[in-house]
Structure 1
Amino acid sequence: MSNDCTLWPPSTVRGIKVLDRSLFTKLVKIPFAKIPTKSIGRIAGAPLMKQWTIERMNRIKPIMEADTKEEKLILFNPDTFTDEVKNSVRNSFKELLELDPEFGTKEFTLTYEDWDLKRCLDAIFDENTRISSFTQIGHIAHLNLRDEALAYKNVLAQILFDKLPKVKTVVNKLDKINSNFRFFEMELLAGEPEYITEIKEFGLTYRLDFSKVFWNSRLSNEHHRIVEKLDRDCVVFDVFAGIGPFALPAIKKLVAKVFANDLNPTSIEYLKENIKLNKIDPQRIETYNLDGAQFIREIISEKLTMYLKEDSCDSLKFHVLMNLPALAVTFLPNFKGILDGKIEMLSHKLNFFVHCYTFIKATEEKPMSWFEEQAILNVRCSLDLPNLQMAEVHHVRTVSNLKEMFCLTFELPFDYFLSSVNNSMKRQIDTENQHEVKEKVPKLDS
């Protein structure tokens, strides 16, 4: 749709950088058919009602009051209500109601309050600029604006604040990323600087400080997808657990045990708070505030050794979750040799699965197969396992035009855990796909 449509904000709002609500006022003429109130029930579900009537707005509805209680007005879309459509509607009324309705037009003054969020946002942009999508986390609306939309940030924020009743705070993501804990820096655009909020996801409630921890509502289906793979025989190691979007539903799924880690102490604080908030048995989960490399080489090593020495281990499946797509691949070499000198052999197969998330970037348009191949190559090079087979390569989402997010699931062979760690081993990650990660990569222990 465009500003030329009748039911669209006036062209005077296009390009505004400061919100002036009076500019959204527009006088429109809307065609109607007048019918007896007692006949409404007979046409409410008729095809003509869905096909030609006006879209519900704030004060305007497909069926409205007439001057008397005995009659109703059926309002039609003024941009599609041609003479041909009018005749078709007339014939339908004659057939359904056995009457010839009175047609006319009615004037309405539409104001800022009448236009919905989408109309308001789309109407202010020129043809070459569009808003990046936004997400809502509790009472917080989070924008991630492209460069060309930054000039509109204040008017966008105010419209979001006005049109989303539950929103009290509007923020925009900045390019700067916290180098230690990987949450993004942001600027307040509208509302109050209230960043502690709650969000519900698949029956669980998460409390968080959005200014200090990471949360991405777009990953809710991904959380669910992974958890659906788990059962009572699974032990879960969540290397970058955050506030628990994988760990907590895994416990609800009644997995055997969860070991959850995050480098950000605030994330661990909220993870523990969310354990209490959701009345989860704290004995089912152990939390750690460690670097991911240390968690792998110490905690996973220790716990895996413990389980492998138990007689019941043959029924267990171990799942490692690594949801830090900008960095996770670089942590993979830490698995090498974690059982060296601790376990010599197994009497049964080790079921050890890794779910590793990664971003893949291109410098020009590429088919999806190229992104998939690059993701697989990065994992194989990082592990120094050129023939490693993937159990699944799942496309999580398109981040931007040239950037894709994947989750690669693979099974690490038992021999890899027994291999001696080579201090000179280098992670041969495609530097183009990892260039945005500027912090120091965790080192392997000697």
Structure 2
Amino acid sequence: MTRAFVPPVQHGMKILNREAFKKTVSTLAMRVQAKHVGGLMKNLSSELLNQPRLRNVANSDQPDTKLILLRNDLREEDISKLPEEMKSIIEKENLGFEQYSMDLDYSYWTADQILHAVIPAEDTPASYTQIGHIAHMNLKEEFFPWKELIGQVILDKNKNITTVVNKTNNIDTTFRFFQMEILAGENNMIAQVKESGCRFKFDFSKVYWNSRLHTEHDRLIQMFKKDEYICDVFAGVGPFALPSAKKGSIVYANDLNPSSYEWLNENVKLNKITKGIHTYNLDGREFIKKAVEDLQATSKEWKTFDHFVMNLPATAIEFLDTFHGLYRDQKVRFDATQSAKLPMIHCHCFTRSSEPANDIIERASQVIGAPIDRATSVAHNVRNVAPNKEMYCLSFRLTPEMAFATR
């Protein structure tokens, strides 16, 4: 079996030295007639060099011939031990064997291979999330001595990345975005991404954005219908709000973070959305009350939202208390409207429970002050965020007991 080529070990390197990763490797090569290369390559596929980013055929110094490169653990004396079919092909077609050398350098090795060669650990921190031109890493403390080197390697090995950042342990407690440190590249935190048919532009150092949530964004957006009213309580820069408005829903979108609010409005313009979206910069509880009031003011009959989206998993459940008695002053209108419906709530949250649905429903019921119907509610597993920590979305319809509570 061919052995993967690996770069020279450079344990102790803290400042990247690309010259240290030069290496000459050699393998057994079989000289054959150039016209027979295609057929031989097919018949000998399991015995070829088959190394990533290297060709299995090289030029020969003799006319009308080529060198077929064989797996690098094979020696000329091993040819006699190959299966008879292989051996007969080789004996029939080859014009001789020789050792073929290749000079490999920093440009050949992958980021993961370079980091394995430098960092004496089983796992290497080569993974990142890409947000536009930014590579966003979340380095463990054990890798901090190499963080600038890691950033430079990621930058070198990815043509579309011009900035590499690491999430620090500090988090803005009011606006819930992580502070960043630049590991390599230019100091440009204005990212542009495409998602759900929309373009988003924002300062990644001042707002929250997680590209891994695009599937969850799409899942909920697909539930929303044209002309339905959507209330996005923690809208960020608009990953739920903008695509929903673009498909014809009427969206009331809010974020407490002034930077998120600024970029939300900028993205409305960027996507040329001229109607069907109303933006706010309020605390979540204030916004829920204000949005319900503003929407009801547009009609003398019962009118409210079809869906509330609460995508702030660390604390969204705590805001459910706002729905306790939220509509008590509108009960007469509700009762007088034959087709009146109460809204669906989509509340994101984290859980570490071995019974996640029970845990989430119990917590949400306690905060909202009334039992959530387990038979009709849905606890959807969004993603794993850490060992024994899952992100869920609890979807349930507000009940009259919750909405019209008097105390």
Q: State the structure with more CA Rg.
A: 2
Deviations 1:299-333 (A, max 9, x none): 134425756926xx7xx971211111111111111
RMSD between aligned residues: 3.2
The 1:165–1:347 alpha-carbon spacing in structure 2 relative to 1, beyond 3 Å, is same
Per-residue deviation, 1:90: 6.8
1:262 to 255, 264, 269: 255
User: Which residue, 33, 50, 60 being the options, matches 1:54?
Assistant: 50
Q: Of 389, 395, 401, which residue of structure 2 is paired with 1:409?
A: 395
Secondary structure of the corresponding residue to residue 321 of structure 2: helix
Shift in Å at residue 409 of structure 1? Answer: 1.4
Q: Choose from 7, 10, 14 the match for 2:8.
A: 10
Partner of 1:342: 330
Q: How does 1:257-406 map to 2 (within 5 A)?
A: 257-280=250-273, 282-303=274-295, 306=298, 309=301, 318-344=306-332, 345=335, 346-348=337-339, 350=341, 352-361=343-352, 369-389=354-374, 391-406=377-392
Secondary structure at the residue paired with 2:330? coil
TM norm structure 1? 0.80
User: Counterpart amino acid of 1:9?
Assistant: P
1:10-49 map, 5 Å: 10-11=8-9, 13-14=10-11, 16-42=13-39, 46=42, 49=45
Q: 1:87 corresponds to which residue?
A: 82
- Contact 2:48 2:71 (C-alpha < 8 Å) held by counterparts: yes
Q: Structure 2: where are the runs of 5+ without partners?
A: none
Q: Which amino acid aligns with 1:231?
A: K
**Whole-angstrom distance in 2 between the partners of 1:415 and 1:67:** 87
Q: Which residue of 1 aligns with 2:167?
A: 173
Q: Residues 278-307 of structure 1: CA distance to partner in whole angstroms, max 9, x if unpaired?
A: 222x21211111111111122134425756
What's the offset of the Cα at 1:259? 1.1
Matches within 5 A, 1:45-124: 46=42, 49=45, 52-57=48-53, 60-67=54-61, 70-79=64-73, 83=78, 87=82, 91=86, 94=89, 99-100=93-94, 102-124=96-118
Shift of 1:128: 4.9
Q: Does the 8 Å CA contact 1:35/1:101 hold for their aligned counterparts?
A: yes
Distance 1:85 1:392 in 2: 65
CA distance in 2, matches of 1:103, 1:351: 80
Give the letter aligned to residue 350 of structure 2. F
Aligned counterparts of 1:321 and 1:347: Cα–Cα separation in 2: 26
Structure 1 pair 31/244, CA: closer, same or farther in 2 (3 Å)?
farther
Aligned length: 401
Pair 1:338–1:36, CA change in 2 (3 A): farther
Once residues 181 and 81 of structure 1 are traced to their aligned partners in structure 2, the CA distance between those partners, rounded to angstroms, is: 63
Q: Which runs of 4+ in 1 moved over 6 A?
A: none
- Report Cα offsets for 1:71-129 as digits up to 9, x if no partner: 4444344258994798359729939xx83475443112211111012222333333355
Question: d(CA) in 1 for partners of 2:281 and 2:199?
Answer: 22
Alpha-carbon distance between aligned partners in 2 of 1:317 and 1:32, rounded to the nearest angstrom = 72
How does the TM-score come out when normalised to structure 2?
0.87
CA contact (8 A) 1:93 1:100 kept: no
